[in-house]
Amino acid sequence: MNSGSQSLIARLLRHPSGLVGLLLLLLVLGMALGAGYFYPSGPWSLSGSPRLWPGQNPALPLGTDSLGRDLAAGLFHGSRVSLAVGAAAAIFSVAIGTIIGGLSGYYGGWIDDVLMRLTDAMQTIPSFLSAIAIVGIVGPSLVTIIVAIAIVSWPMIARLVRAEFLRLRTYDFVQSCRIIGMSDLRIIFTQILPNCLAPIIVASSVLVATAIIVEASLSFLGLGDPNAMSWGTMLGNGRAALRTAWYMTAIPAAALVLTVLALNLLGDALNDVLNPRLKERS
């Protein structure tokens, strides 16, 4: 852990799936950052005749959707929404999960009982269905979608963090902190938490991937933010033309698959690189 970020990236780059994942993710990030530069008029502008197949018009290499919107512009601008939702939802649920798991693991006793029963209850609810319910009741907007995804995905992090805290709180360095009179909060945030960052980072990379998929599924079902172009919105728009113009669905689907794959590869690689016991293998 304390070998520095420089060597962490170096080790990731030596890891085959880490390299591929990192490159793919950089590509998607590049798309998100460059969207405004390459397609300044935004993803909604009607830039060609509707239902152009890829390659039919060299100016619109990926073709157009059923309203004549450039699919390439949609892909670039959509990456912003998909990544932002993924990242924001992951940060939110990691924050909730870490606090609940941390308190639960550190204090134990009745706090642990209450918080873990709450977590159990949350885990019995099918997460995608409850995301649909939340968005359906509150109304679709990017913020509600992010909150809905965070609400349904924090229990996994909470259990992970609790297990780490349960293990670490018995260690000598924690005991010695107690003895010198360090406050609980300081022990939790400056001593234990840094030592269980590795599994949290690995889990959050998967969480980002899941959040992107959930957002896409919600948009596909028509529960996305109608004013934000995401890959899920593109999938939903293309669905009606699946038999006659499959490229409208295939193009955003490919982007989704590659991004999720990249995040999963990165997660695997991080797991290998950050786990000291597996260091020899990587």
Partner 1 sequence: MKKQIFHIDRRGFIAGLASSAAFPAAIGSSVGSAFAQGQTPKHGGTLTTVAWPGTTYMNAAITTSGPESFLSPKFFDGLLGYDYGMVEKPALATSWSISEDGKRITFNLREGVKWHDGEPFTSKDVAFTFMEVIKVHHGRGRSLFADLETVETPDDLTAIFVLSRPAPAIMKALDGRESPILPAHIYEGTNIMENPANTNPIGTGAFKLASYERGVSIVMERNPDYWDGDKPYLDRIIVQYIPDASTRTAMLESGQADVVFLNFLPALDTLRLAESPDFEMVEEGYETSASNHQMDFNLDREIFKDARVRHAIAHAIDRQWIVDNVWHGFGVAGATPLHHEQRAFFTTEGVPSYPYDLAKAEALLDEAGYPRGANGVRFDLTIDPTPYGDESLIAAEYIREQLRQIGIRLTIRTQDYAVFIKRCWTDRDFDLCLYTAAMGADPTIGVQRFYWSKNFKPGVAFSNASNYSNPEVDELLEAAQVELDPEKRKEQFAKFQQIAMTDLPTLPVVHTTRATIAWRKVKDHTVDAVGALGNLANCWIEE
Dihedral sign for Cα atoms in the order 217, 222, 228, 229: positive
Distances (CA, A) of 246 to 54, 62, 134, 237, 243: 11, 12, 31, 11, 6
Of 13 and 46, nearer to partner 1 (C-beta) is 46
Stretch that binds partner 1, among 83-91, 134-142, 200-208, 261-269 (CB under 8 A): 134-142
Could you tell me the two tokens for 43?
């993803």
Q: What are phi and psi of 225, to 5 degrees?
A: -75, 115
Residues between 148 and 167 with contacts to partner 1, criterion CB under 8 A: none
Q: Answer yes or no whether residue 107 interacts with partner 1 by CB under 8 A.
A: no
Q: Which of 20, 51, 84, 91 binds partner 1 (CB under 8 A)?
A: 51
By CB under 8 A, how many residues form the interface with partner 1? Answer: 22
Q: Answer yes or no whether residue 188 interacts with partner 1 by CB under 8 A.
A: no
How far is Cα 90 from Cα 118, in angstroms, rounded to an integer? Answer: 20
How far is Cα 192 from Cα 52, in angstroms, rounded to an integer? Answer: 56
- Contact in structure between 224 and 145 (CB atoms under 8 Å): yes
Q: Which of 48, 78, 140, 252 binds partner 1 (CB under 8 A)?
A: 140
CB of 186 to partner 1, least distance (A): 46
CB of 242 to partner 1, least distance (A): 7
Q: Answer yes or no whether residue 139 interacts with partner 1 by CB under 8 A.
A: yes
CB of 185 to partner 1, least distance (A): 43
How far is Cα 83 from Cα 107, in angstroms, rounded to an integer? Answer: 35
Q: Which of 145, 245, 262, 273 binds partner 1 (CB under 8 A)?
A: 245
Q: Answer yes or no whether residue 66 interacts with partner 1 by CB under 8 A.
A: yes
Q: Which of 85, 90, 87, 82 is nearest to 43 (CA)?
A: 82
Of 150 and 223, nearer to partner 1 (C-beta) is 223
Per-residue three-class SS string for 232-264: HHHHHHHHCCCCCCCHHHHHHHHHHHHHHHHHH
Beta-carbon contacts of residue 89 (< 8 Å; ≥ 6 apart):
145, 146, 149, 150, 153, 207, 208, 211, 214, 215
Q: Which of 240, 254, 257, 278 binds partner 1 (CB under 8 A)?
A: 240
Stretch that binds partner 1, among 114-122, 185-193, 219-227, 268-276 (CB under 8 A): 219-227
Stretch that binds partner 1, among 8-16, 23-31, 87-95, 220-228 (CB under 8 A): 220-228
Q: Answer yes or no whether residue 176 interacts with partner 1 by CB under 8 A.
A: no
Q: Answer yes or no whether residue 55 interacts with partner 1 by CB under 8 A.
A: no
Q: Answer yes or no whether residue 136 interacts with partner 1 by CB under 8 A.
A: yes
E-strand spans in the chain? none
Distances (CA, A) of 14 to 18, 90, 260, 263, 278: 8, 27, 21, 17, 15
Q: Answer yes or no whether residue 50 interacts with partner 1 by CB under 8 A.
A: yes
The footprint of partner 1 (CB under 8 A) covers: 44-46, 50-51, 53, 66-68, 136, 139-140, 222, 226-227, 237, 240-245
